[in-house]
Amino acid sequence: MPKGYAAGKYAVGTACFSVVDTGRTEQLGSGTGDRKIAVRMYYPADPAAVEGKERAAIFSEAKKAAVLKAFRLKTIPDALCSADYFENVPAAQGQTFPLIMFSMGYNSYAESNTYLLCALASRGYIIASVGHAYEAIENDYEDGSTDLFDRTIQKKMYTSLIGALLAQRKLVRSKASDQELLAQFERFQSKYAPYLKGRVPEWERDILTALNAVKERFAGTLDLSRGIGASGHSLGGCLAYYLCRYHEAFCCGINIDGALFGDYPDSVMKKPFCQISCRDNIHYETRPFFQTDADTYHVIFEDMKHIGFTDAKFFYPFRALTGKLDSEVMLKNLIRCHVLFFDRYLKGEDVSFGSLASEQVKFRKIP
């Protein structure tokens, strides 16, 4: 495990399962059958239960091959192909734990933030990470089947790739206020990215279907007394905001550098929320700062790029795409941000979220 990873008092168990959303016909890939959803669980286990056991692999052989191809790499170091978690060990006995639903970024994979999610599980959280069919690099299912990213999506993502790139460049360089930036992004997503805008409610259905299955499988281990937490990277982070905005069951959320696609009513956000950003994407991520009467935070990682918020920061060598910030520093602060936020709003602990501020991480509370 990377040095920036620091475990809590629990060992971490992991298990994979899949669920079929019956009656919801798949629109991507083969375009046949009901939509399938892949789920990887991360959960607290008793340290004694993992003694003498081998750590679980992060990648199946099929997933590793797909990730290597997607990142155009020849190999991933063996040390980064397993994490500090153990397959199918029992959850810690006699205790219940808060639940966090996590969603990957677009064309990523369910294990993309394994180091972060292991750290959360070791500190007493159960996390379900969802892989979205044909929109992940690769998904593995319980029946032995797999799927790969549907490359026809690349032609659907933007109505005009050149127009979208020019509009993005203009938005990034804009010196407008946060409110004006939100209006500019609204025009951008409606004109150039209606496809991505339309995927948000579909991913919402994936999460809710997975959530029902998680509740059944971990019924005696979940503490839902305060509600459910949500987090995710990129479009998965946008989904965390969407879930908190629309569903009472979700009580707080974190968006890891996701542009805020989707339709939103004029109602007020009543759930605590944390927006994590790199400097490049701040102008896409101003929505959480408006229409809210709950605690809202903005955490900016300096010298970071979008992909660098995932475990790819450790095996993808191109810092132009992952950022110059040291990978260990990134992970340490990403973990700390999640732990402080969820300890406060899911566990109800009295912690100081403002202690995040440092040279590498800028912090502000809204307003």
CATH number at residue 212: 3.40.50.1820
Mean pLDDT, residues 307-321: 95
Pairing of strands 138-140, 296-301: unpaired
Residue 8: predicted pLDDT: 87
pLDDT value at 23 more than 90: no
HSE-CB of 166 using CA atoms within 13 angstroms: 6
Residue 62: predicted pLDDT: 95
Alpha helices in the chain (DSSP H): 61-71, 114-122, 161-173, 178-192, 194-217, 235-246, 312-315, 319-322, 327-345
Residue 170 lies in a domain: no
Cis omega before residue 367 (within 30°)? yes
Residue 270: predicted pLDDT: 92
Residue 137: predicted pLDDT: 97
Residue 283 lies in a domain: yes
pLDDT value at 354 more than 80: no
Q: Report d(CA 33, CA 35) in Å as an integer.
A: 7
Residue 360: predicted pLDDT: 87
Token pair 């992060």 is at which residue?
A: 58
pLDDT value at 265 more than 90: no
Strand order in the sheet with 86-87: 86-87, 11-25, 34-45, 126-132, 99-103, 228-233, 250-256, 273-278, 296-301, 361-366
Residue 219: predicted pLDDT: 93
Residue 78 lies in a domain: yes
Of 199, 198, 188, 194, the C-alpha closest to 163 is 188
Residue 356: predicted pLDDT: 78
Cβ atoms of 292 and 366 within 8 Å: the answer is: yes
Residue 122 per-residue DSSP state: H
Residue 203 lies in a domain: yes
Per-residue pLDDT band at 40 (split at 50, 70, 90) = very high
Mean pLDDT, residues 324-352: 94
Give the count of domains, the chain. Answer: 1
Whole-angstrom CA distances from 360 to 282, 299, 330, 334 are 16, 10, 8, 11
Contact residues for 237 (Cβ-Cβ < 8 A; gap 6+): 103, 105, 231, 254, 255, 256, 257, 258, 276
Q: Report d(CA 196, CA 240) in Å as an integer.
A: 15
Give the range of the structural domain holding residue 340, as residue numbers without chain letter. 11-157+193-366
Mean pLDDT, residues 250-260: 97
- Residue 163: what are its φ and ψ, rounded to 5°? -60, -40
Residue 4 lies in a domain: no
Residue 2 lies in a domain: no
pLDDT in tens, 113-169: 999 999 999 999 999 999 999 999 999 999 999 999 999 999 999 999 999 999 999
Per-residue pLDDT band at 355 (split at 50, 70, 90) = confident
Two structure tokens written together for 48 = 């004694």
User: CA 74: distance to chain centroid?
Assistant: 26
Of 300, 282, 268, the C-alpha closest to 365 is 300
Cα dihedral sign for 59, 62, 65, 71? negative
pLDDT value at 9 more than 70: yes
Mean pLDDT, residues 45-56: 93
Residue 4: predicted pLDDT: 57
Mean pLDDT, residues 80-105: 94
Two structure tokens written together for 2 = 């990377």
Residue 98 lies in a domain: yes
pLDDT value at 3 more than 70: no
pLDDT value at 281 more than 80: yes
Q: What percent of the chain has pLDDT over 90?
A: 83
- Residue 347: what are its φ and ψ, rounded to 5°? -100, -15
- Which burial class, exposed, middle or buried, applies to 244 when counting CB atoms under 10 A from its CB (0-12, 13-18, 19+)? buried
Mean pLDDT, residues 359-367: 85
Residue 9 per-residue DSSP state: S
Residue 96 lies in a domain: yes
Across the chain, what does the average pLDDT equal?
A: 93
Of 172-176, 287-291, 299-303, 361-365, where does the model show the most confidence?
Answer: 299-303
